[in-house]
Amino acid sequence: MIKKIYGKHTFYFSVLTIALSAIALIIGGNVEFSNELIIPFVCLFLILSVGISHGAMDNYKANKILKIYKTNNKIIFYLIYVLISLAVIIFWFFFASLTLLVFLLIASYHFGREDTSFLNIGNSNFDQFFYLIKGSLIIFAPLFFYIDETLKIFEVLLINDEVLFFIKDQHWIINICLGLGTFGYLYFIFKNRFKDFEILLLDILSILILNFVFSPLIAFTIYFCFLHSIRHIISISYELDENSFLNGVKMFIKKALPLTILTALLYLLSVIYLSNLYGLNDVIIQVIFIGLASLTFPHILLEYLIEKNEK
């Protein structure tokens, strides 16, 4: 049943990608108003609502990790979670290039694994490597199609000029990494002997189309909210109620809503505060990506600890 739901979601996401891309191409491709406030605000809204909600169950997953480590003090969990998030933000402002590199590596592995593990039979070390390779397509596709716009985002994220110049000057590295990312999809298609291959095929086509048509911020937002996050929400909803998927979705919304609202408020307060120091467009980009990094590190660490101990 769960694979059938994933299959339907993949089909609907592909239809959404084609429809949005066709509209964008008809009205002028990378629309002129994309540099105005409307697009960054829409992207921020989608990430704050749909995007971050898929990690809003971490406070419930805390019960598992507390049980594993034989403690009932949930304050300890929240304190460690928040401290890790704050540490990421602090490191970013002092070591932006290094923190971004680590974040991109972790995010690539996370995207590759979360978007594929439901299809993959087995979980070898070789598979772990190809999760990273496959997920890196999300990083290198915008660099390949819109390198100047992507480097502008990196610049706003406080990456130094030497790193930006190296990335632009060594474009062949991007080409190779894009090819490897594509090969990551083919690896899992062949490994599973073409079983459910259409899901992976539609995924890669959708990601490439999005990054060809749209600017990096828009392409990432559509992928992150409507493919990665929705797919994760499907998995959580099925876990909550294996007998009734719709009831599982209702349970997920009820459980995830409080933390989603709290996180969104913190994001908005950050935007308001930083807008006094930087331009609003730059602030939105910083809040989106540095904010996601600060949430990604503890989120992935929590899932790793739970999976490791459950095994």
Domain boundaries, the chain: 2-310
Average pLDDT over residues 202-212: 96
Q: Which long-range contacts (CB under 8 A, 24 or more apart) does 156-160 make?
A: 156/282, 156/285, 156/286, 157/92, 157/96, 157/100, 157/285, 157/286, 157/289, 157/290, 158/92, 158/93, 158/96, 159/96, 159/97, 159/100, 160/96, 160/97
What torsion do the CA atoms of 300, 303, 307, 308 make, to the nearest 10 degrees?
50
Angle at 63 between CA 102 and CA 267, to 5 degrees: 50
pTM of the full structure: 0.91
Amino acid identity for residue 69 in this structure = Y
pLDDT of 310 over the 70 cut: no
Question: In this predicted structure, which of 9-18, 62-71, 74-83, 275-284 has the lowest mean pLDDT?
Answer: 62-71
Question: In this predicted structure, which of 20-24, 264-268, 278-282 has the lowest mean pLDDT?
Answer: 278-282
Tens digit of each residue's pLDDT (9 = 90 or more) over 219-266: 999 999 999 999 989 988 888 888 888 899 999 998 888 888 988 898
Average pLDDT over residues 31-49: 76
What pLDDT shows up at residue 29?
47
pLDDT of 68 over the 90 cut: no
**Percent of all residues in the chain with a pLDDT value above 70, rounded to a whole number:** 95
